[in-house]
Structure 1
């Protein structure tokens, strides 16, 4: 769009027809794992709408439009998506959109960090296909995780684009509602397509270094709300980016949208400069150290500092780790303090091992079994781990783990799963007859603690362990990202943070 051109007004639509579609996953290119189509647990048709409370029958937003589900699939973070899985899901998504008939708008619900074999910008490629399917007049609103990656092409193909403003993502549903509501407002008022100001920021940091619980991210993201409140701005968004993929699009980014070119330009540049200025101040959200040091501190903790949580960060399945690295558990079980059942109570969650789970299920609760688990996918740091222990609990039917087993090995309660699963909620433990609140040490494959665990932890430290989402980014070996990039090039010159006005997709 040229500086002098005024966006064309549109005809208001009293009750627009809006489709919902998208595929979402964080994909670590540093993990040997591969993600197949079933991992996305796709919802189809009317079942898509049931995932969003704000679209429940009788809610104002549901009544404001004729909502039609196409296909939405969301996978746990993991490895690169196979070309076959992407083709299967995207082909079905496009076919379902084509089958919906006339559309006025489309809400594109994605994560933004999906890596596909031989594809560098999977979400933009998918949205380009969606555009071909829906025609030139349909407006698209894209909602994302703040750990997504925002290419110029993705912004060009979207009329509105936004992301979460909190890490942990306590505002995830609020963000999705904002994306859907802004789209409906645009359609029903007949306002012109928004002006979009995009600023790529050459910073790539781990989520654990950019949590909005602490400074400087707390203030950096507070400025997003302030920018959105500016006259002439519809929405403001700041993406940290996804650090564990090696792709040219990976970096932080800002997009501000709205009717005023001047307002969105000023807002985007303010946010970009604020993030860049704070780059040296970002630090891990909790104290960090080698695993052995974390264990020593946990064992020395006073009673009021327990339960003491340790994040096993390098194999975090909710950041893209394979989940089956045995390196940490091997070291925990080798420590003399935990050899006897009367030793300090430790809960370890978790390690996939379908054969081990089957053995424990056949033996039953109370049986003593010897099983081997882990390192079926990621064996770069340690091999499969053999353990002898008492079957403490068995649980079937979890949507992620499928079957869970707790094996007590000395004083360590090891959670084994048929399929990998993140442990974020207290009921994840209590459902397995475990009491994390009374444990001495709880070790979870996670980065920053999710809200329930954070509230439960009297002490906490992040162990810098190996895996597909290693927190030491420079040692991972990125070679395809644009350089210079902070922190890989710490003394790089100040970048050009001028806002780029991105024209509508069809210009």
Structure 2
């Protein structure tokens, strides 16, 4: 008998992207980073560092992940789903059995022509592995938990922090829950509560109240006898699908305890619905620019929130850049150093590649995919630097227009970390102003900011949800509708 014969056999697979259905971007094959083999196993701290490595036989199948964007092309989704299902089918056909599956997903993936991509994915997986394999799903708290998804998993959890500083901790928790469940031989169920709230992440950050206290309740709930995991999904606001809403799921072995806990958390979320506010000081772009220019401390951060690639924006909306280029305070010879990230345009990069650093250049850039708020913008200045080989962006050019340093990339890239700027020779910490396509600030940028405005700009992830126009979400829904009485927050037990 082999040393692993008595250990549970656990597969690892998944597909993740956060997709705005209001974004004209379409995610294709190039957008996804693929992992399999040892690289997939070593993705997880608990497996790489040994905490769970010896408690199961780990069977990496396939994982594909993209930065947020628009809906996934149907052919791209089908090919990744097929690769996952074929890999699982090989394991099943081997005759050695399969006990568990870690399903590593985001939860807000949209696919062209489909309403519930993760529900479709897990249903296809179940057809291959059957009903007895224990599936543990790990998700973003901005994911959506549909009926099809919650029915087809056995364990389910999500992040408890926004920004997501606990992303890897959450994946490890899903792994631990799976291993512990298999070792104990228990059969957990899910107590599921649909909460009719749909809010943007920038209003539900756990840095501030009420989300801070709401999520702080989870450890105590999870510690109760009969509870395995407790989770609150804020949901994803920039998709117009029936499954888009807040959700509470408590997983456990005691039906009465999990039901009471799920209803308690669902009620707690509903009761604070009117208290959610923007995590950073909001304002128009003009207000943000004026605050930045008059700030006594630097760097001053401006979130170009409507086209945030980290939430599903295309990354090529030029509306903000066009406004900044019209400001002589930013484009004059003695203007403060302002970093503007970014707009992508392969054609513009190809033109800039024909120049040398230091050349005077004039190029049109952006609005090749999302040209709704503004068309392409002409950038006339000096080619400050040119870079190749970025794994996300490909080629990168920085064009200096007075103090304004305009970052143009070949492909989509989110500038959410200090290292994104330093990698192309830009000193973010000593810049006067940083304008970047982001919503709430990721930790590195949050730490260096000495002033911040969440600019309410247009794009595929516009903070003004009513301006976007949802038509297919389940109504009534807060804050779109008034409620004369409380909604039904009864937990439904799913086995």
Q: TM-score range by the shorter chain?
A: over 0.9
CA contact (8 A) 2:146 2:243 kept: yes
Give the Cα separation in 2 of the matches to 1:63 and 1:185. 13
Counterpart contact for 1:35–1:79, Cα < 8 Å: yes
2:455 corresponds to which of 452, 463, 485: 463
1:316 corresponds to? 308
Partner secondary structure for residue 77 of structure 1: coil
The aligned counterpart of 1:176 is: 171
Compute the TM-score of the two structures, normalised by the length of structure 2. 0.97
Give me the whole-angstrom Cα distance separating, in 1, the residues matched to 2:322 and 2:58.
50
* Residue equivalent to 1:244: 238
Instruction: Report the TM-score when normalising by structure 1.
Output: 0.94
SS in structure 2 at match of 1:99: helix
- Are the counterparts in 2 of residues 37 and 88 from structure 1 also a CA contact under 8 Å? no
**Matched ranges for 1:44-59 at <5 A:** 44-56=36-48, 59=50
Give 1:391 deviation, angstroms.
1.4
Structural mapping, 1:265-414, within 5 Å: 265-302=259-296, 305-414=297-406
Unaligned runs of 5+ in 1: 1-12
2:113 matched to 1:118? yes
Q: 1:266 and 1:339 mapped to 2: Cα distance?
A: 59
- 1:60: Cα distance to partner? 2.3
In structure 1, what is the equivalent of residue 144 of structure 2? 149
2:354 alignment partner, SS class: helix
How far apart are the structure 2 equivalents of 1:223 and 1:278? Answer: 14
Name the structure 2 match of 1:444.
436
Structure-1 residue corresponding to 2:89: 98
Write out the 4+ residue segments of structure 1 that deviate beyond 6 Å after TM superposition. Answer: none
Equivalent runs, 1:191-206 vs 2, <5 Å: 191=186, 193-206=187-200
Task: Return the match for 1:226 from 220, 223, 234.
Answer: 220
Secondary structure of the 1:175 match is helix
CA distance in 1, matches of 2:30, 2:422: 28
C-alpha distance after superposition, 1:109-142 (max 9, x if no partner): 0000011112111101110111111123210000
Mapped partners of 1:43, 1:467: distance in 2: 31
Give 2:102's match in structure 1, choosing from 93, 102, 107.
Answer: 107
Q: Residues 376-410 of structure 1, C-alpha deviation per residue, up to 9 Å, x if partnerless? A: 00000110111111111222221110121111111
In the other structure, the counterpart of 1:475 is 467
TM-superposed CA distance for 1:82, in Å, is 1.3
What is the aligned counterpart of 1:262 among 249, 256, 264? 256
Cα displacement (A) at 1:14: 4.1
How many residue pairs were aligned?
487
Between the aligned partners of 1:173 and 1:341, the Cα distance in structure 2 is 45
Following the alignment from structure 2 to structure 1, what is the Cα–Cα distance between the partners of residues 424 and 34? 28
How big is the shift at 1:367?
Answer: 1.6
Q: SS in structure 1 opposite 2:227?
A: coil
1:86 aligns with 2:94: no
Once structures 1 and 2 are overlaid, which stretch shifts more, 155-164 or 89-98? 89-98
3-state SS in 2 of match to 1:28: coil
Match of 2:24 in 1: 32
Matched, 1:15 2:39: no
Q: Alpha-carbon deviation of 1:492?
A: 4.7
Deviation at 1:353, TM superposition (A): 1.5
Q: Contact conserved, 2:298 with 2:449, CA < 8 A, in 1?
A: yes
Deviation sequence 1:120-168 (CA, Å, 0-9, x none): 1110111011111112321000010000000122111000000000000
Aligned to 1:60: 51
Contact 2:45/2:172 (<8 A) preserved: no
The CA deviation string for residues 431-455 of structure 1, in whole angstroms up to 9 with x for no partner, is 1111111111100100000000000
Is the 2:123–2:148 Cα contact (8 Å) retained in structure 1? no
